Structure 1
Amino acid sequence: MANTGRRERLRAETTAEIKGVALALMASGGPDAITLRAIAREMGMTANAIYGYFATRDDLVTTLIDDVYTGLADAVDGAWAATGGQDAAVRIQAWAAAFRGWALAHPEGFRLIYGDPVPGYRAPDGGAAPEAARRVCTGLTGLAAAAWPYAERLYEGSAFEWSDFDAGLLDKVRPLFPQLPPAGVALALRIWGHLHGTVSLEVYGHLSRQAVSPDKLFREETRQLVRELGLS
């Protein structure tokens, strides 16, 4: 039993190291750099030894995507839960701050799920990280649902219909937010575009010369967003 426990611990440690090296290779060389042979070389292992942990490169990438999405979902869900009972403006700003904080702490992970795709990668049936990705998606829709009573005026006369949105997305969010009309989904995407765009500029280094304080810029942009939505 002691030997079994030791083997399991060593396997877990090696698996974690493989994933860490893969993200580090991506950070330095882009998505093309994630190969099992390159990881084996960095770790001083043989390629055959790596295959004992991940049968294919795509298996490794799928695991990484799942880990990354889960970390992001935990961060934003935690911020939302911590602000329960407070007004919508506070909750949206808390969710946004958690998203940015996670992205800055895990830039390689952000690039993996929101940047350039890994060349040749084929996700398994059902997609990579379906549960964690769903949590992020429904969290964003939750922001729209909280803001909708105030932001509905922005979509007066809207021509949005359910057919304008992906059926898979609707399957995830409509049961959770049955009161939200099609334009409410558009609002969720609007909020997402605003937050994602600003964070992407920072993660990819495009704000380093333009903004002295990216943190202040993000906070003020988020405040302006909630004001635009009609929140206090």
Structure 2
Amino acid sequence: MVSTRGIPGGRRERLRIETTAEIKRVALELMASGGPDAITLRAIAREMGMTANALYGYFATRDDLVTALIDDVYTALADAVDTAWRTAATAGPAARIHAWAEAFRGWALDHPEGFRLVYGDPVPGYRAPEGGAAPEAARRVCTGLAGLADAAWPYAQELYADSAFDWSDFDSGLLDKVRPAFPDLPPAGVALALRIWGHLHGLVSLEVYGHLRSQTLRPDKLFAQELAALVRSLSVPASS
């Protein structure tokens, strides 16, 4: 439930905020039970006991609703990993990498519908607005991943001395996010950020989608071991 206490505009505005939050909640519940194509304004209206026309007063199109959901979800994820990174600011690179990765996994398990919305199957027919659905939050997550690589780079750079990567190997949009934040990180460092992302995202996706349930009772231990192995592979001291 969204708190509306202290919001200016009176009862009507408070009711609008509460209804908007309920629409978003119902949309994610529908996606959880029926997949991404279950998000329709008509289905949401039916669940809420409203008419579809009434919902158009809150979201003009289904794509407007999906865009708002993606922005909310991505922002919540960015907040979670950014907070973990800042909290571990005085720790060494290994501890900071662990903190970011564990925050990412924790957020995904607490919000599986949100994870599936931004990292799972796309909503059929959805068209994001120009610039993306959550450009600021996406930038924060990208720079966070680059921050993991930047923290590891003083230890890992010798492992990539013969790297053939150059700037032309990467999307310009990604570089626009990463290079201003980490101007000393070379192309091989950006590739390392994507490799780290692959390790983290792979196991978390398997867990969120339930694919590990029949293989292990301790997916948390599996993730911790994979993360420790990743840090070792980068030559980052475990006590750093």
Q: TM-score, normalised by structure 2?
A: 0.95
Name 2:99's counterpart in structure 1.
94
Query: How far is the alpha carbon of 1:5 from its aligned partner?
Result: 1.1
Aligned equivalents of 2:94, 2:19: Cα separation in 1: 43
> Matched residues, percent identical?
79
- Number of positions where the alignment pairs a residue of Structure 1 with one of Structure 2: 231
Residues 180-209 of structure 1: CA deviation (Å, up to 9, x unaligned): 100000000000000000100000000001
Q: Which runs of 5+ in 2 are unaligned?
A: 1-6
Pair 1:42–1:227, CA change in 2 (3 A): same
Query: How far is the alpha carbon of 1:3 from its aligned partner?
Result: 10
Among 74, 85, 91, the alignment partner of 1:69 is 74
Among 102, 110, 113, the alignment partner of 1:105 is 110
Aligned equivalents of 2:69, 2:193: Cα separation in 1: 26
> What amino acid is aligned across from residue 95 of structure 1 in structure 2?
W
Among 10, 16, 19, the alignment partner of 2:21 is 16
Name 1:57's counterpart in structure 2.
62
Structure 2 residue 33 is the aligned partner of structure 1 residue 45: no
Aligned equivalents of 1:91, 1:181: Cα separation in 2: 21
Alignment of 1:108-187 (within 5 A): 108-187=113-192
Aligned equivalents of 1:6, 1:152: Cα separation in 2: 58
Provide the secondary structure at the position in 1 that maps to 2:180.
coil
Provide the secondary structure at the position in 2 that maps to 1:205.
coil
> What amino acid is aligned across from residue 214 of structure 1 in structure 2?
P
Aligned equivalents of 2:129, 2:14: Cα separation in 1: 27
Query: How far is the alpha carbon of 1:156 from its aligned partner?
Result: 1.8
Q: TM-score, normalised by structure 1?
A: 0.98
Query: How far is the alpha carbon of 1:152 from its aligned partner?
Result: 0.9
**What is the Cα-based RMSD across aligned positions, in Å?**
1.1
Query: How far is the alpha carbon of 1:155 from its aligned partner?
Result: 1.1
Q: Which runs of 5+ in 1 are unaligned?
A: none
